[in-house]
């Protein structure tokens, strides 16, 4: 599988437009980027998208920041539009969550520190997941990642760097 995130090259700098630093964006929110994918494995029944900040250790644990987890995305999709709306369950039946709530959480690394590495991981699954969101994004992500074990047909990864402008 191949994935592309609009607005920046794989490994490049993530634009402010899709970050928490964009003008008018509430803390912990942002406008999700358009994402497309191709070369989906045969037998795909749903997709899982996991976006996380690899450089943020949460509460002195090995967990990193949950920026966006979407699961049970229909197998018929070839991408997501820019600006996926807020809400725990989307019209197509998929679910989403982030550390901020049921929405995309844009990159937000501090201007005073180093660039953070944000990773978008797309999984093609041979099933739909029987996982509902909980009130805690980290618990939900753990439940989702546990449920995908043994069901991954393919994976695509796309990364970017971000820190707030000075």
Domains by residue range for the chain, with CATH: 2-162 (3.90.280.10)
The model's pLDDT over 97-139, given as tens digits with 9 standing for 90+, comes to 999 999 999 999 999 999 999 999 999 999 999 999 999 999 9
Q: Is pLDDT above 80 for 58?
A: no
pLDDT of residue 94: 98
Label residue 63 by pLDDT band (50, 70, 90): confident
Helix H or strand E encompassing 5: strand 2-5
Strands 65-74, 46-53: pairing is: antiparallel
Q: Is pLDDT above 80 for 59?
A: no
- Of 84, 119, 88, the residue nearest 104 (C-alpha): 84
**Over 145-161, what HEC string results?**
HHHHCCCEEEEEEEEEE
Helix H or strand E encompassing 140: helix 137-148
> Which residue, chain included where needed, has tokens 């191709």?
38
End-to-end CA distance of the chain: 36
Q: What's the predicted TM-score (pTM) here?
A: 0.95
- The neighbouring-strand residues paired with 13 are 161
The residue-averaged pLDDT of 11-17 equals 97
pLDDT of residue 27: 86
The model's pLDDT over 20-49, given as tens digits with 9 standing for 90+, comes to 999 999 888 999 999 999 999 999 999 999
Task: Enter the DSSP assignment of 166.
Answer: -
Of 5-14, 59-68, 150-159, least confident by mean pLDDT is: 59-68
pLDDT of residue 166: 85
pLDDT of residue 81: 97
């Amino acid at each position: 599988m191949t994935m592309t995130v609009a607005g920046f090259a794989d490994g490049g700098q993530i634009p402010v437009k899709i970050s928490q630093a964009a003008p008018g964006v509430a803390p912990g929110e942002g406008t999700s980027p358009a994402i497309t994918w191709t070369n989906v494995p045969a037998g795909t029944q749903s997709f899982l998208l996991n976006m996380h900040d690899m450089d943020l250790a949460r509460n002195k644990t090995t967990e990193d920041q949950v920026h966006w987890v979407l699961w049970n995305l229909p197998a018929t999709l070839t991408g997501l539009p820019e600006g996926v709306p807020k809400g725990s369950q989307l019209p197509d039946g998929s679910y989403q969550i982030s550390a901020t709530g049921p929405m995309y959480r844009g990159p937000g690394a501090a201007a005073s520190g180093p660039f953070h590495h944000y990773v978008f991981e797309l999984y093609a699954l041979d099933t739909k997941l029987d996982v509902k969101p909980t009130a805690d994004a980290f618990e939900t992500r753990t439940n989702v990642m546990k449920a995908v074990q043994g069901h991954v047909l393919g994976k695509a990864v796309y990364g970017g760097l971000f820190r707030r402008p000075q």
